[in-house]
Chain A
């Protein structure tokens, strides 16, 4: 065992139900080094870190701190072993000042003295080069300042091992540079730092060593100076797996949707979409690949008229008349009536599109209630539609009047996609439609999308599994940090090429 190892994990395993989140993972981080943990979405990075921080408890395996085996059952235990984790979602009280947030929950001896705490915060800031006003209220702060407060909070509690979960995801390039210089200072001070990221250039720029995880399994640890982007990408995405999804050649593809130079800025001034341009064609499945949060959601919402754009154009070509329509002038309702359908399946399936407490028929009516002539609801057609969806897509449900909330995830998805398809769309957008579904349900959805493609619909499919994207889509557009980093022909490209494009965010240095 390495004598200056601050933290060591051996054979750590964690299951969630039948899903294996981490399997026999080994990991060592030494004092005075920055270790990157690299992996795709769902590779188990955050789960692994949560076990060190005391949020999860491992099913199996051992954790050593300074060479001694320890048991970490709660975040409090983690603090006792001087482990501090900075989560992606900040836990701060908005109307408290930075100092108040930092001392929150601490049971220090002696009387409560905010001035003394403020003093110590200033000391820590000066030592590592943080720029923060301890008396500033959180709600007045930028994202980067909030992150600084979280880091100081951990240091204030005496952490020697710091874990940062995708700290740069919310930062501008300049803020990222500042964070990196602070992290380097902490490393030089002898702290052990673990940083979770999937941006390759950051890994190469910052860390001393890289540990790669893939689908919950430990792949390898390499020294950053002795590796390169290509090797890391290959370790990250792995070898290609054949799935046997049917894919027909596009028939008579015609341009249906032009997206030109669209930009979109978040409230915090971070660019969510940066000059995105592409064309979607009828009879074709356009795949969209990218690390989670690279702008996929914003892109789909922009097309559906739900997202405000700061600049750019979206043009729709009517398949019958051939006339061009600018979607930016239209309301979401008008866009939908033109045949542009968003079957958006976000993180929570019921959040957008379906109402959990309403039954299948009523959910069908959500799309058609405006069409009725009288003031009373027309139930017959939605009922027929609901029944045909249940039959065709093999939705497992007692009957059409069962609340959607009581159906399983896959069946909810089928209802949602089925409803959008029933309206004979010309553009069908589906985001993560197979997330959380078993293999059979996934294939049902793939077949549905393929059918739509053969009917001449322009299908846009946002997915996270590269193997699926490569076998299902005709072209793959890769988003990285809100930019289009490449559009590839899915039949000829390789998994590595897509993986490399996904991690190519060229953040930082140029802007």
Chain B
């Protein structure tokens, strides 16, 4: 029993980590007032970029260096997703396009790119068309050596690859950045009231660009984790599923606080896989269980709307373009 609870928690964390990357990235983005609904597409591109990086490095050398095997896909994922976020930034900040439309378009675009390169790589790969980065994935999944010796505790706390710990570290650092640095204060001011920030001499455009691109890059790591850790380095087109949307739902659940997002991601992950641990479910009830994270999000929305506490509300200028009014 205890062992199966430990296993459930471990699976919950593994499911939750991509969501945590995505939601931390989206929180940073939304704090600047940009509602980036392109996150699912950005995470997808993050995943395929990592795969492309790993693919070409694995092919280029017979004796892959462990450090480079990790660094190259890592940087590729960061670059690919940041580039996507840059497209979003340029459209919404500089050209002031509608944020919702741009975000949704970016999601569709990102999935298209991912599937295109996924298909192309499958052709290059040959061998039945599936892409497996097993060697690279094994490096990404390397857990701490003593994890297995610690039994259940080891399973729950120490059995993950380094990206999982990085996700939690980034979330904690982000929470600290928002509340304890001058630049964090300025970023929040930009998302709350860009006119006020502008009048106070803060460069609104710069903050919006930086937050959106850095946020996008962090979200992209969620895609990388999914491929390299969760699926053991196997890319399948469309395999990422609705995790990108779950990440956005998690932002609402976490009330725009990355530290709550850590717990929220594990909860969401747990709800997402709980059907596997309840015996005797048929296919249709399994799908009902997969809805749970969304149900929880709706509940949170209902509760925060009833309580109307300002601290629990999204940044005030979220979704709005800013331009200095003509004086």
Contacts and interface: CB of A to CB of B under 8 A. Distances in A.
Nearest to A55: B327
A104 B196 contact: yes
The binding surface of chain B is classed by DSSP as helix
Given A95-B311, A95-B316, A139-B310, A105 B193 contact: no
A56 B327 CA distance: 9
A197 to B, nearest CB: 23
A94 B196 CA distance: 10
Q: Chain A at the B interface: mostly helix, strand, loop or mixed? A: loop
Contacts of A112: 180-182, 185
Nearest to B201: A105
A91 B324 CA distance: 14
Residue from B188, B195, B201 having most chain A Cβ neighbours under 10 A: B201
B320 interface: no
20 contacts: A55-B327, A75-B199, A75-B201, A76-B201, A91-B193, A93-B188, A93-B197, A94-B193, A94-B316, A95-B192, A95-B311, A100-B185, A104-B185, A104-B197, A104-B200, A105-B199, A105-B200, A105-B201, A105-B202, A112-B185
Interface residues of A, number: 19
Given A55-B327, A75-B201, A112-B180, A105 B192 contact: no
- Which of B181, B182, B192 is packed against the most chain A CB atoms within 10 Å? B182
Contact of A93 (B181, B189, B311, B327): B189
Contacts of B192: 93-96
- B186, B196, B311: which has the most chain A beta carbons within 10 Å? B196
A181 B42 CA distance: 57
Contacts of A91: 193, 195-196, 199-200
Given A105-B197, A112-B180, A112-B181, A95 B202 contact: no
**Interface-central residue, B181, B185, B186, B327, by most chain A CB under 10 Å:** B185
B283 to A, nearest CB: 45
B189 A104 contact: yes
Interface in B168-227: 180-182, 185-186, 188-189, 192-193, 195-197, 199-202
Nearest to A112: B182
Nearest to A89: B195
Interface of A: 55-56, 75-76, 91-96, 100, 103-107, 112, 137, 139
B282 to A, nearest CB: 47
Interface in B296-320: 310-311, 313, 316
Contact of A105 (B181, B186, B188): B186
B193 A93 contact: yes
B133 to A, nearest CB: 42
Contacts of A55: 327
Contacts of B313: 95
B271 to A, nearest CB: 30
A104 B207 CA distance: 14
Contacts of B197: 93, 104-105
Name the 10 nearest CB pairs between A and B, nearest first.
A105-B200, A112-B182, A91-B196, A105-B201, A93-B192, A104-B200, A91-B199, A93-B193, A93-B189, A95-B310
B189 to A, nearest CB: 5
Contact of B188 (A56, A96, A137): A96
Contacts of A139: 310
Contacts of B181: 112
Interface in B102-152: none
B327 A104 contact: no
A408 B188 CA distance: 40
B310 A94 contact: yes
